[in-house]
Amino acid sequence: MLQPKKVKYRKMFRGKNRGKAQRGTELAFGEFGLRAIEGGELSARQIEAARKKITYVTKREGKYWIKVFPHKPLTKKPVGIKMGSGKGAIDQYVAPVKPGFILFEVGGVGEDVARSALHKAGHKLSVKTAFVKK
């Protein structure tokens, strides 16, 4: 599962995720991509599920690039614990995503295969996505 090898601070503030993506909005590596239409947070499990679906549909032909990485820790307290007594333990890692950001790129396969793979991968994610090409 994707998560940082080493971090300076273990726990992070929740923060805000407003506005549109300023960078990472153009295709950089492949001919086809999956763009986020809405903002949100993608968990490491969702990214892994989408990655597996892309490799399955493309039959490992061509190449794909993952442009998101879950570097933000989310904490959660155990069930039945009373309020107070500090911040909870790290539950999962997420990648904050803004609208317009390219999440995955695919190259070296036909458009119909890439469209199918990225469309199916988009179903695994918690944000609305759209297929884009160069």
Phi, psi values for residue 92, rounded to 5°: -160, 170
**pLDDT recorded at residue 1:** 85
Residue 12 forms part of a structural domain: no
With H, G, I as helix, E, B as strand and everything else as coil, classify residue 131: strand
**pLDDT recorded at residue 36:** 98
Q: Are 30 and 107 in contact (CB under 8 A)?
A: yes
Residue 46 forms part of a structural domain: yes
Number of C-beta neighbours around residue 98 at 10 A? 19
CATH number for the domain spanning 118: value is 3.90.1170.10
Q: Are 103 and 69 in contact (CB under 8 A)?
A: no
pLDDT tens per residue across all 134 residues of the chain? 899 999 999 999 999 999 999 999 999 999 999 999 999 999 999 999 999 999 999 999 999 999 999 999 999 999 999 999 999 999 999 999 999 999 999 999 999 999 999 999 999 999 999 999 99
Residue 54 belongs to domain spanning: 32-76+90-133
Residue 15 forms part of a structural domain: no
Phi, psi values for residue 66, rounded to 5°: -100, 120
Residue 20 forms part of a structural domain: no
Overall number of domains in the chain = 1
Residue 65 forms part of a structural domain: yes
Residue 41 forms part of a structural domain: yes
Residue 4 forms part of a structural domain: no
Residue 18 forms part of a structural domain: no
The pTM assigned to this predicted structure is 0.94
